Chain A
Amino acid sequence: MSDSQTTRRRFLLAALAFSTVAVTGSTWLRGAAAWASSTDGTTLARFGRLLFPHDGLSDEVYADVMNNVLMALASNPDTENLLAAAEHALDAQQDTAWIERDESEQIAAIEKIPREACFAAILGTLRGALYYSPALWSHINYPGSSKEHGGYKFRGFDDIDWLPENS
Chain B
Amino acid sequence: MAKKYDLDDSSVVVVIGSGAGGGTVANELAQKGIDVVCLEAGSRLTLADVVNDPPAMDAKMGWHDKRIGATLLICKTVGGTTMRWSGVTPRIQDHEFRSLSTYGQLDNGTTFIDWPLTLTELEPYYDKAELKMGVSGTQGIQPSAETNNYKVLKAGATRVGYKEISSARMAINPVARDGRPGCQQISFCHSGCAIGAKWSTLYTEVPAAEASGHFELRANAMAVRINHDKEGRVNGVVYKDENGAMQEQKARAICVAGNVVETARILLNSESSMFPQGLANSSGQVGRNYMRHTFGLAFAVMPKPVNYHRGARQTGLLLDEQINNPQRGFVGGYQLQPAAADPWFTSHLIGGWGRDHTVFTDNYTRLAGIFITGEDPPEAGNQISLHATERDAQGLPVPDDEYKNHSNTNAMRNHAIKASRRIYESLGATDFWGGDASMGCHNMGVARMSENPDDGVTNRWGQAHDIKNLFVSDGSLFSSSAAGNPTLTIVALAIRQADHIAERMSQKEL
Chain A residues within CB distance 8 Å of chain B? 10-11, 14-15, 17-20, 50-56, 107, 123, 127-128, 130-132, 136-137, 140-147, 150-153, 155-160, 162-164, 167
- Give how many B residues have a beta carbon under 8 Å from the other chain's beta carbons: 55
Are B310 and A156 neighbours in the complex by a CB distance under 8 Å?
yes
A53 touches B355 (CB 8 A): yes
Please tell me if B185 contacts chain A, counting CB pairs below 8 Å. Answer: yes
Bound-state CA distance A131–B358 (Å) is 11
A59-B348 Cα distance, complex, nearest whole Å: 23
B155 at interface, CB cutoff 8 A: yes
Q: Pick 25 A–B contacts, CB within 8 A, sort by A.
A: A10-B55, A14-B59, A18-B55, A51-B354, A52-B358, A53-B358, A54-B361, A127-B344, A128-B55, A131-B347, A140-B363, A142-B309, A142-B342, A145-B51, A147-B184, A147-B195, A151-B311, A152-B310, A153-B183, A153-B185, A156-B310, A157-B185, A163-B152, A163-B155, A167-B158
List the B residue with the shortest CB-CB distance to A107. B354
User: Is B415 engaged at the interface, CB distance under 8 Å to the other chain?
Assistant: no
Mark the stretch among B5-13, B186-194, B479-487 that contacts chain A: B186-194
Of the residues A19, A131, A145, A147, contact of B343 by C-beta under 8 Å: A131
Look across to chain A and name the residue whose beta carbon is closest to the beta carbon of B184: A151
Could you count the A-B residue pairs with CB atoms below 8 Å apart for me: how many are there? 141
Q: Contacts A51-B354, A155-B310, A167-B158; is A140 near B365 (CB within 8 Å)? A: yes
Cα(A140)–Cα(B56), bound, Å: 22
Interface locus among B130-138, B142-150, B488-496: B142-150
Question: Would you call the interface of chain A mostly helix, strand, loop, or mixed?
Answer: loop
Task: Judge whether A158 and B52 touch: CB under 8 Å.
Answer: no
B301-314 vs A, CB cutoff 8 Å, 1 = contact: the mask equals: 00111110111000
Chain A residues, Cβ within 8 Å of B59: 10, 14
Q: Quick check: B195 and A127 within 8 Å, CB to CB?
A: no
In the complex, what's the smallest C-beta–C-beta distance from A122 to chain B, in angstroms? 10
- Which one, B147, B152, B188, contacts A146 given CB within 8 A? B188
Chain A residue nearest to B195 in the complex (CB):
A147
Q: List chain B residues, Cβ under 8 A from A159.
A: 148, 307
Cα distance, A136 to B362, chains bound together (Å)? 9
Q: A20 touching B71 by the CB < 8 A rule? A: yes
With contact pairs A146-B52, A152-B187, A152-B310 given, residues A141 and B365 touching in the complex (Cβ less than 8 Å): yes
- Whether the Cβ atoms of A160 and B355 lie closer than 8 Å is no
Q: Does any Cβ of A come within 8 Å of B159's Cβ?
A: yes
- A11 contacts across to B, CB distance below 8 A: 55-56
User: Contact at B145–A157, with CB atoms within 8 Å?
Assistant: yes
Q: Does B151 contact A (CB under 8 A)?
A: yes
- Which of B58, B147, B354, B364 makes the CB contact (< 8 A) with A142? B364
- List the 8 closest A-B pairs by CB distance, nearest first: A151-B184, A157-B311, A14-B55, A145-B52, A151-B186, A131-B344, A152-B310, A167-B155
Distance in angstroms between the alpha carbons of A87 and B158 in the assembled complex: 51
Measured between alpha carbons, how far is A123 from B427 in the docked complex, in Å?
33
Note all chain B residues with C-beta closer than 8 A to A10.
55-56, 59
Most chain B CB within 10 A, of A52, A132, A143, A163, is at: A163
Give the distance in Å from the alpha carbon of A107 to the alpha carbon of B353 in the complex: 11
A124–B59 Cα distance when bound, in Å, is: 17
Could you tell me the distance in whole angstroms from the C-beta of B447 to the nearest C-beta in chain A?
A: 25
Residues A54 and B362 in contact, CB atoms below 8 Å apart: yes
Q: Which residue of B lies closest to A160 (CB)?
A: B148
Instruction: Return chain A residues, CB-CB under 8 Å to B151.
Output: 158, 160, 163
Q: How long is the Cα–Cα vector from A130 to B344 in the complex, in angstroms? A: 8
Instruction: Kindly list chain B residues whose C-beta atoms are within 8 Å of the C-beta of A143.
Output: 309
Q: Is B121 an interface residue (CB 8 A)?
A: no
Min CB distance A121 to B, Å, is 13
> A44 → chain B, closest Cβ, in Å?
15
Instruction: Tell yes or no: B500 within 8 A of A by CB.
Output: no
A140 vs B354: C-alpha distance when bound (angstroms): 17
Provide the bound-state CA to CA distance between A160 and B306, in Å: 6
Question: Do the beta carbons of B186 and A146 come within 8 Å of each other?
Answer: yes
**Given the complex, which residues of B lie within 8 Å of A55, measured CB to CB?**
362
- In the complex, the answer to whether B52 meets A147 with C-beta atoms within 8 Å is yes
What distance in Å separates the Cβ of A54 from its nearest Cβ neighbour in chain B? 5
CA A6 to CA B348, docked complex, whole Å: 23
Which residues of A have CB within 8 Å of B306?
Answer: 160
